[in-house]
Structure 1
Amino acid sequence: MPVAFITGITGQDGSYLCELLLENGYTVHGLVHRPDTLVNSNIGHLVRDDTICGKRLHLHNGAFEDATHLRRIINKARPDEFYHLAGQSSPRLSLELPETTVDSIGMATLRLLEIIRDLDHAPKFLYASSAEVFGSPAHSPQDEATPLRPTTPYGAAKMLSQELCRIYRTAYKLPTCAAILYNHESPRRRSTFVTMKVAQAVAQIKLGHQKELTLGSLAGKRDWGWAPDYVRGMWMMLQADPVDDFVLATGVLHSVEELVDSAFQCVDLNWRDYVRHDPSLVTAVEPYAPCGNPAKARRLLGWKNSVPMEEMMERLVAYCMDKLK
C-alpha cells in the first residue's frame, strides 16, 4: 500500500487529492495547523469516518517554522510520495505581507527539501507552483520553457520554490518536480477568490438576500479550470518516470466579464443590472492575460481539463444556491 504525505490537506487541492489517493488505495498523512477546526474543514467528512481516520488517514499537528518536529513526523510516516500544497495563497495579500509570504512559501519548501534529502529513501516530491511565476510574460500561452518574471512577492516566492525543486533534482538527483498551476476552481474555494465571490453573490441576488456585486476590473483575463482535474494531474505527474515539471492549464482565456456573464445567465439575470465597479479592488500589478499551454502534460501524461469555464460557473452557482436553500 503506497504512502503519501500532503501539506495543505484541508485546502481545496489538498482535500481533493486526499480523496483521490484514498480511492487509489493509499495511506495518507497530512500536516494540519488547526486541529480544532478539522471537523468543519474540507476533509471533515473523512475525519468523521472511523473506518478511515486513524487507519488510512493520519493527521499530524505541525508548523513549517519547527523543522525538527517536521523531520520527526516525516521520518515516522516514511512516504513514497510527498505533495507540498500549503502556503499563503493570495498575490494581492503578498504585496502587504511580503516577508510572511516568502517565509511561508519559499523557506517552508527549502526546509522540506532538506528533510527529504536526508531520508534513506527519498519520496517523489511535488511542489504546487503557480502561473504567477511568469508575471507579465512576453508571449502567450506560456509553457515549461517560458522565462520566469514574477510581479508580486507571491510569484517570487513561488518561483523560489519551483527553482529549488529543479536544483534538488539536478544537484542531488532527488525525484522533485513542480506543477505550474493556472487558476482552478471548485465549490471548496474560499470566497476571497473571484469565482466563488461571483457565484455566492449570484445565488444571494437571485434569492433576494443581496442587491449588488462589487468587483474591480472586469477586463482582466484568466485561464480557469476545474480543481479535481488539476489534482488528478498532480498525481499523474508523480506516477511518471522520471518526474518532471508540467504546466497544468486549459489553454483558453476568459475575461472576468465573461465569467460574470456566465454566472448570471445561470439564474436568468442580466449582470449589468447588479454589478458595481470599485477601483480600490484593482491590483496595481495585475498580470497580463496568463494563459497556459498544457501540450506537454497532454502528450506525456494524457492529462487535460474536462470542465469548461461556463460549466464550471454553472456548478458553482448551483452549489451556492443549494447551500442557501
Structure 2
Amino acid sequence: MKKALIIGITGQDGSYLAELLLDKGYEVHGLIRRASTFNTSRINHLYQDRHDGSPRLLLHYGDLSDGSRLVSLIAELQPDEIYNLGAQSHVRVSFDEPEYTGDITGVGTTRVLEAVRLVSPQSRFYQASSSEMFGATPPPQNEETPFYPRSPYGAAKVYSYWMTKNYREAYGLFAVNGILFNHESPRRGETFVTRKITRAAAKIKAGLQSKLYLGNLDAVRDWGYTPEYVEGMWRMLQHDKPMDYVLATGHAATIRDFLDYTFEHIGLSWQDYVDFDSRYLRPTEVDALIGDASLAERELGWKAQTLTPDLAKIMVEADVEALSHEGSHWIDKPKFL
C-alpha cells in the first residue's frame, strides 16, 4: 500500500486529491494548521475505516513556516509521495500580505524540499505551481513560456518552481512542478471570483441577495474542473521521469463570460445585479492566461474534459442546492459514513 502526504489537504485541491488517492488504495496523511475552529469541512466525508479497521485518513498538525516540524513528520512517515498544495493562495490578498505570502508560498516549499532531501529522499515530490507565474507574458502559455509574475503570489510561486527544479537537478530528487491553470469546483473558496459569482447567483435567485460587486470583468482565464486536475497531479508522480507539466483546457473565457454562463443557467441576467467595485482591482492586472497542455496529453495521457460553460453550471447548481441545506457552505453530495 502506497503512503501519501498532502500538505494543504483541507483546501479545494487537497480534498479532491485525498478522495482520489483513497480510491486508489493509498494510506493518506494530511498536514493541517491548528485553528480555534474546525476547518476540515471539505474532507469530513472521508473519515471512514478501511476493512481491516485501520484509519484511511490521518491528519497531523504542522505549518509550512515550521521547518523542524516538517522534518520530523516526513522522517516519521517516510511517504512514497508528497503533494505540496499549501500556500497563501489568494492573489489579491498577496498584495496586502507580500511578506507572509513570500514566506509560506515561496520559502515554505524550500522547507519541504529540504526535509525530503534530509530524511526521505526516495519520496516523490509534487509542487503546486501556478499559471500566475506567467503573468504578463502573452498566451498561449506552455512549459517553455518565460515567467513574468504580476503579483507577490506569482513571484513566490516562481521561486518555488525554480527551487523544485534546483533540488531535482542538484540532489536527484523526483520532484515535479504542476503548472496548473485556474481550476474550480463547488468546493472553491467563497472569496475566489468563480465561487463568489455562483454563490451570489444562487442567493440572488433565492431572494437572499440583491447585488454582486466585482472588479475587472475583462480578465481572460482558462478555467477547468478540479477533480480532473488532481488526476493530472497524480499522473505526474507515476511517470518514469520527473518533468514539469502545464495542465489547462486551452479554452479562454472572460469573467463576463463566466457571469453569462452562470446567470443564464438559472434564468437571470447578470447585468441587473452586478456592480463595479474598485477595491477588487489588483495593483497590477494579469490580462490573459490560456494554457497549452499538449505535453501532458502526450506524456501523461491527460486532457481536460470539462470546459467553462459546463463548469459554471456544475458550480451554480451546487450552490443552489446548498441553500436548501441549512448550515452548508459547500455541497458536492458527499456521503457521510
What secondary structure is seen at the aligned counterpart in 1 of 2:176? strand
The aligned counterpart of 2:197 is: 198
What secondary structure is seen at the aligned counterpart in 2 of 1:82? strand
Cα deviation for residue 288 of structure 1 reads 2.0
User: Structure 1 CA distance, aligned partners of 2:70 and 2:270?
Assistant: 48
Cα deviation for residue 98 of structure 1 reads 0.8
The aligned counterpart of 2:332 is: none
Q: Taking structure 1 as reference, are residues 30 and 45 closer, same or farther at Cα in structure 2, changes over 3 Å only?
A: same
Matched, 1:10 2:27: no
The aligned counterpart of 2:275 is: 276
The aligned counterpart of 2:143 is: 144
Cα deviation for residue 311 of structure 1 reads 0.8
Cα deviation for residue 51 of structure 1 reads 4.3
Aligned residues with identical type, % of pairs: 45
Deviation sequence 1:116-156 (CA, Å, 0-9, x none): 1123542110000101111100x310000111111111111
What secondary structure is seen at the aligned counterpart in 2 of 1:95? helix
Q: Taking structure 1 as reference, are residues 171 and 116 closer, same or farther at Cα in structure 2, changes over 3 Å only?
A: same
- Structure 1, unmatched stretches of 5+, are none
Q: Taking structure 1 as reference, are residues 164 and 40 closer, same or farther at Cα in structure 2, changes over 3 Å only?
A: closer
User: Structure 2 CA distance, aligned partners of 1:40 and 1:67?
Assistant: 23
Alignment of 1:172-191 (within 5 A): 172-191=171-190
Alignment of 1:68-83 (within 5 A): 68-83=68-83
Q: For the Cα contact (< 8 Å) 1:5–1:82, is it kept in 2?
A: yes
Matched, 1:97 2:97: yes
Q: For the Cα contact (< 8 Å) 1:39–1:45, is it kept in 2?
A: no
RMSD (Å) for aligned C-alpha atoms: 1.6
Cα deviation for residue 34 of structure 1 reads 2.9
User: Structure 1 CA distance, aligned partners of 2:235 and 2:271?
Assistant: 42
Q: Taking structure 1 as reference, are residues 112 and 194 closer, same or farther at Cα in structure 2, changes over 3 Å only?
A: same
User: Structure 2 CA distance, aligned partners of 1:199 and 1:65?
Assistant: 33
Matched, 1:304 2:303: yes
Matched, 1:244 2:246: no
Deviation sequence 1:211-247 (CA, Å, 0-9, x none): 1211112111111000011111000100111021000
What secondary structure is seen at the aligned counterpart in 1 of 2:96? coil
User: Structure 2 CA distance, aligned partners of 1:183 and 1:54?
Assistant: 36
Cα deviation for residue 279 of structure 1 reads 2.4
Cα deviation for residue 35 of structure 1 reads 6.5
Q: For the Cα contact (< 8 Å) 1:38–1:44, is it kept in 2?
A: no
What secondary structure is seen at the aligned counterpart in 1 of 2:125? strand
Cα deviation for residue 37 of structure 1 reads 4.6
Using the size of structure 2 for normalisation, the TM-score is 0.92
Deviation sequence 1:86-121 (CA, Å, 0-9, x none): 010011111111110000011111111111112354
Using the size of structure 1 for normalisation, the TM-score is 0.96
Q: For the Cα contact (< 8 Å) 2:121–2:173, is it kept in 1?
A: no
User: Structure 1 CA distance, aligned partners of 2:321 and 2:279?
Assistant: 32
Matched, 1:289 2:288: yes
What secondary structure is seen at the aligned counterpart in 2 of 1:233? helix
Q: For the Cα contact (< 8 Å) 2:80–2:124, is it kept in 1?
A: yes
Q: For the Cα contact (< 8 Å) 2:296–2:303, is it kept in 1?
A: yes
Q: Taking structure 1 as reference, are residues 120 and 8 closer, same or farther at Cα in structure 2, changes over 3 Å only?
A: closer
Farther-moved stretch of structure 1 (309-318 vs 52-61):
52-61
Paired letter, 1:268: G
Structure 1: which 4+ aligned runs deviate by more than 6 Å?
none
Paired letter, 2:108: A
What secondary structure is seen at the aligned counterpart in 1 of 2:92? helix
